[in-house]
Structure formats: structure tokens, C-alpha cells
Amino acid sequence: MVDLSGLAQALTFGLIEASVIALGAVGLTLSYGVTRFINFAYGEFLAWGAFTVVFLVAIAPALPLPLAVAVAVVAVGFMGVAVSGAFFEPIADRGGLPLLITSIGVAFVLRYLLVAIASTDARSLPVPLQRPVEWMGVGLTPVQAVVIGVAALAMLAIHGVLQYTTLGTVMRATSGNRELATVAGIDTEAVVRRTWVISAGAAALAGVLYTVLYAPVRPTFGFGYLIIIFAATLLGGIGRPYGAMLGAVLIGVTISVGSAYLSPAYDQAYAFIVLVVVLLVRPEGIRRGTF
């Protein structure tokens, strides 16, 4: 017989991890929507976000952590624009494969630049360790609750931008057909730049939340976690932000439940089994629609 509180606990852990995955997946799928290539350098933005906060709290211990996180998100957002302008935009018309290969090279550049600055040492953020608060047999620490809340707020904000702002409208238009959007008078280059800010900023925030939950971390953690983010993105249908959110929840819960009831040694395998099965049945991903 299934222990319901154990199952609820596994689902809760799944939702906590899904919060991090979802932020990363939404950011990745947004940039894919307007650039149309799979960016292997994306995971490095997670690491840069986390280590920017580590750096800020080290040089300014009095700086409130939320302010340090906000600075890191903005800084990495603009770093995304710079990386795109330097490496991706100049070859944007060469097709997906050169961009993909370039992104792998950019990933190495960003990773080892961070290693050169921060060394390979594992670091943590000054977040208090807390005992769980139990409710109906399910334990959750206040920090874990804050992580879920921050991710939910960030996703609501992205939803607001997409649905209720001019930027969201032109982003959707550019994502649908960039050439047509250009003909229609939209400054698609500006749209791409702004999308990069949101995309890289979301990655930075995901990296910070990852570090809050799973510290200590090394500067190389982003690339490893990118595999999970890819799974959620593909599951949701790449280029579809709301699909990425759904995909993240499914991946997070699958990893957690599989680890709890089968074996924790194969956590990433569970995610990819689900991905393969879903894509065999629904190649377009779990969410219908174009965005």
C-alpha cells in the first residue's frame, strides 16, 4: 500500500525542484522562440547568476540578499545581450547548426572565465538552514517555500510581459515569423536583445535558487543541469513558454517520485524516459498552440 504522506512529500520535493527547472526552461525556450537555435551556453548563465551573488555578498556583506540577487539577475541579463551580440547575432543568418556549435564553444568560454575568476571551489550562499514545518505529514522549510514563491512570482511576471505588454506582443510576433515581423515594421533586433535580457535573467535567477537549495555548488554546475532544463523544454514543446512550465513540473515530479519509489541513483534517467515516451506519442510536446 502506498504511504500517502510519503507520496505527498515526494510530490512536494518534485515541485521544489520544478521551480528551478521551470525558470530555466522558460528562459531557454523564450530565447529559442526568437533565435531558433538550441543554446548550449545557456547553462552557464545559471552559474554566472549564482556566483555573481556569491561575489556580491562576499565584497558587501551588508548588502541584503534579495538586492544582490536583483543585481545579479540584471547583470547576467545584460551579459546575455552582450554574448548574443558578440557571438550569435553575427552568424544568425547561417542556420541552426553553426549557431549550435558556436554556443558549445561559448559555453566553454563562459565556464572557464568563471572558473578563472572564482576558482573551482564549491560555494554556498548565506541562507539559513532550517528545520521543516510539517503540515499533514509533509515537511517544507520556509526557505523551500520562498523558492517556490519566488519562482511562481517570476513566472507570473513573464506571463504578464508576454500577455499584457507591447514587448510581449512583438516577442510573440517575432517568434512566429521573424521576417514577417520585420516587414511589419517591428524592430526585431531590439526584440531579440530584450528577449535575451529576460532569458539570461531567468537563468540567473534559476541558478541562484538552485544554489539556495543545493549548495555547495561549483562554477561548472550549469552545464550539468542544462540537461534537465532541456528535457523540460522539449517536453513542453520547444519555443512554448507555458509548455516549458508544464514540462518542468512533470520532470521535477518524475525525478522525485522515481527517486523515492524506484532508486535515487537514476534520477536523470527517469526524466528522459518520460521525455522519450511523451515525444513518441506527441512529437510536438505536451502543450498545444504556438507559444
Closest among 119, 149, 145 to 51, alpha carbons compared: 119
If one asks whether residue 141 binds another protein (CB under 8 A), the answer comes out as yes
| Smallest separation (angstroms) from another protein to the CB of 128 | 8
Q: List the one residue from 2, 129, 136, 280 that touches another protein (CB under 8 A).
A: 129
In the window 246-285, what residues touch another protein (CB under 8 A)?
A: 256, 259-260, 264-265, 267
| Smallest separation (angstroms) from another protein to the CB of 208 | 14
Of the candidate spans 5-13, 45-53, 180-188, 281-289, the one that interacts with another protein by CB under 8 A turns out to be: 5-13
Q: List the one residue from 101, 122, 184, 227 that touches another protein (CB under 8 A).
A: 122
Residue whose CB is less far from another protein, 102 or 144:
144
If one asks whether residue 146 binds another protein (CB under 8 A), the answer comes out as no
Q: List the one residue from 100, 216, 227, 277 that touches another protein (CB under 8 A).
A: 216
Rounded distance between C-alpha atoms, residue 189 and residue 171, angstroms:
11
Q: List the one residue from 57, 63, 65, 213 that touches another protein (CB under 8 A).
A: 213
Residue whose CB is less far from another protein, 7 or 279:
7
Place of cell 564553444: 105
Rounded distance between C-alpha atoms, residue 272 and residue 59, angstroms:
40
Of the candidate spans 79-87, 152-160, 167-175, 211-219, the one that interacts with another protein by CB under 8 A turns out to be: 211-219
217: β partners = 123
Q: List own/partner pairs for 134-143 with CB under 8 A and 24 or more apart.
A: 136/5, 136/8, 137/4, 137/5, 137/8, 137/9, 138/5, 138/8, 138/9, 138/12, 139/9, 139/12, 140/12, 140/16, 143/212, 143/213
**Up-side HSE of residue 172: CA atoms within 13 Å toward CB?**
17
If one asks whether residue 6 binds another protein (CB under 8 A), the answer comes out as yes
Residue whose CB is less far from another protein, 58 or 100:
58
| Omega within 30 of 0 (cis) for the link into 216 | yes
Contact positions vs another protein (CB under 8 A): 6, 9-10, 13, 17, 120, 122, 124, 129-132, 134, 139, 141, 144, 210, 213-216, 218, 221, 224-225, 256, 259-260, 264-265, 267
